[in-house]
Structure 1
Amino acid sequence: MTYSFIPSGVCSRMINIELDENGVIEKVQFIGGCNGNTSGISQLVKGMQAEDVISRLKDIDCNGKGTSCPAQLAIALEQALEEI
């Protein structure tokens, strides 16, 4: 399943996620944002259960913004899991 999410409060403009039927992350692609960081996050979460990634990333803050690209990924994963 492919899911696209428009993040809020961060530099990234879009997050594209591919999950298998068991909620395992097959691919994450950030559009915009800090390329090195978002590429690194994408590689680190590949093959992980979405629930595990959500629990690790959901409260990360970027420079007092109240959110971050990793936190937005957690929100996107929560929404994507609702559609499986």
Structure 2
Amino acid sequence: MTYQFQTSDLVCSRMIEIELDDRGERVKRVQFVGGCPGNLAGIGRLAAGMTPEELIDRLQGIRCGGKPTSCPDQLATALREIAAKKNA
């Protein structure tokens, strides 16, 4: 299952593509469009194999400088939205 999430205009990345396993229990791949290529590729590799819940717990609330959000925080937001859609 692959999901696309439009990020907030407060961050450098424009979109996040998230692929979950067939059961939606583990992240297979995360790819950011735009933003800092090295850092965001690193986040994507670290995210692979983790559960959405683990990522949300680790990433939510991270801020970028004085901004109220960050690319990692936007990933947590995207995963929360995916979970809400699955549970609806």
**Bin for the TM-score computed over the shorter chain:** over 0.9
Structure 1 unaligned regions, length at least 5: none
- For 1:17-32, list aligned pairs within 5 A: 17-20=18-21, 21-32=23-34
* Bigger-Rg structure (1/2): 2
Q: Show the counterpart of 1:56.
A: 58
Task: Give, as a single letter, the amino acid of the residue that structure 2 aligns with 1:82.
Answer: A
Q: CA RMSD in A?
A: 0.9
Q: TM-score, normalised by structure 2?
A: 0.90
Q: Which has the higher contact order (CA 8 A, sep 6+)?
A: 1
Q: TM-score, normalised by structure 1?
A: 0.95
Q: CA deviation at 1:83?
A: 3.3
Q: What is the aligned length?
A: 84
The percent identity for this pair of structures is 54
Q: Show the counterpart of 1:44.
A: 46
Task: Note the alpha carbon deviations across 1:27-48, whole angstroms, 9 max, x for none.
Answer: 0000000001100000001000
Question: For the residues of structure 1 that align with 2:65 and 2:6, how far apart are their CA atoms?
Answer: 20
